[in-house]
Amino acid sequence: MKKYDYLIVGGGLFGAVFAHEMKKINKTCLVIDRRSHKGGNVYCENIEGINVHKYGAHIFHTNDKMIWDYVNQFVEFNRYTNSPLANYKGELYNLPFNMNTFYKLWGTITPSEAKEKIRSQCENLNITLPKNLEEQAISLVGTDIYEKLIKGYTEKQWGRDAKDLPAFIIKRLPVRFNFDNNYFNDKYQGIPIGGYNKLIDGLLEGIEIKLNVDYFEEKYELDALATNIVYTGKIDEFYQFRFGELEYRSLRFEHELLELDNFQGNAVVNYTEREVPYTRIIEHKHFEFGTQNRTLITKEYPDEWSLGKESYYPINDIKNTEIYKKYKILSETEENVIFGGRLAEYKYYDMHQVIASALTVTKKIQK
Judged by the rule CB under 6 A, the positions of this chain that interact with ligand UDP are: 86, 95, 149-150, 153-154, 157, 169-170, 172-173, 270, 272
Give the 3-state DSSP-derived string for 148-194, with helices as H, strands as E and coil as C. HHHHHHHHHHHCCCHHHCCHHHHHHCCECCCCCCCCCCCCEEECECC
The stretch near ligand FAD (CB under 6 A) out of 67-75, 129-137, 318-326, 336-344 is: 336-344
Q: Are 7 and 349 in contact (CB under 8 A)?
A: no
Residue type, 265: G
Stretch that binds ligand FAD, among 138-146, 208-216, 257-265, 316-324 (CB under 6 A): 208-216
**Of 131, 134, 185, 175, the residue nearest 158 (C-alpha):** 134
Angle at 348 between CA 356 and CA 58, to 5 degrees: 75
Binding mask 213-252 for ligand FAD (x = CB under 6 A): -xxx---------------xx-----------------x-
Query: Is-catalytic flag, 160?
Result: no
Distance CA 343, CA 349 (A): 9
Please check whether residue 223 is in contact with residue 215, taking contact to mean a CB–CB distance below 8 angstroms.
no
Q: Work out how close the CB of 93 gets to ligand FAD at its nearest, in angstroms, rounded to a whole number.
A: 20
Number of residues that bind ligand FAD (CB under 6 A): 35
Q: Exactly one of 237, 249, 312, 349 is catalytic; name it.
A: 249
199 touches ligand FAD (CB under 6 A): no
Residues ≥6 apart with Cβ < 8 Å to 37? 43, 211
Q: Using CB distances below 5 to 8 A depending on partner kind, what does residue 232 bind out of ligand UDP, ligand FAD, none?
A: ligand FAD
Q: Which stretch in 32-40, 98-106, 125-133, 286-294 sits in contact with ligand FAD by CB under 6 A?
A: 32-40
- Rounded CA-CA distance 89/213 in Å is 45
List the catalytic residue out of 21, 283, 288, 300: 300
Which of 146, 155, 196, 280 is catalytic? The answer is 280
Q: Is 342 one of the annotated active-site residues of the chain? A: no
CA 63 to chain centre: 16
Using the rule CB under 6 A, is 189 a contact of ligand FAD? Answer: no
Which of 33, 237, 345, 350 does the annotation list as catalytic? Answer: 350
User: Closest distance between ligand FAD and the C-beta of residue 172, in Å?
Assistant: 10
Binding segment for ligand FAD (CB under 6 A), chosen from 13-21, 97-105, 260-268, 274-282, is 13-21
Report the C-alpha gap between 276 and 264 in whole angstroms: 17
68 binds ligand FAD (CB under 6 A): no
* Cα(223)–Cα(243) distance, integer angstroms: 23
Element holding 24 (H helix, E strand): helix 13-24
Q: Using CB under 6 A as the criterion, what x/- string covers residues 44-63 for binding ligand FAD?
A: -----------xxxxxx---
Concatenate the DSSP letters of all residues of 71-115 into one string. HHTT--B-------EEEETTEEEESSBSHHHHHHHH---SHHHHH
Shortest Cβ 268–ligand FAD spacing (Å): 9
Catalytic residue check, 256: no
Q: Which does 41 bind (CB under 5 to 8 A by kind): ligand FAD, ligand UDP, none?
A: ligand FAD
Q: How far is CA 181 from CA 56, 94, 172, in A?
A: 21, 7, 15
Known catalytic residue at 239: no
Q: How far is the CB of 148 from ligand FAD (least distance, A)?
A: 23
Beta carbons of 69 and 77 less than 8 angstroms apart: no
- Mark whether 242 is an active-site residue: no
Q: Is 40 an interacting residue with respect to ligand FAD (CB under 6 A)?
A: yes
**Residue 342 binds ligand FAD, judged by CB under 6 A:** yes
Q: Does 14 bind ligand FAD (CB under 6 A)?
A: yes
- Report d(CA 144, CA 104) in Å as an integer: 12
Asked about 249 being catalytic, the answer comes back as yes
State the binding partner of 173 from ligand UDP, ligand FAD, none, CB within 5 to 8 A by kind.
Answer: ligand UDP
Q: What CA–CA distance (Å, rounded) separates 52 from 47?
A: 7
Residues forming the active site: 172, 176, 249, 280, 300, 348, 350
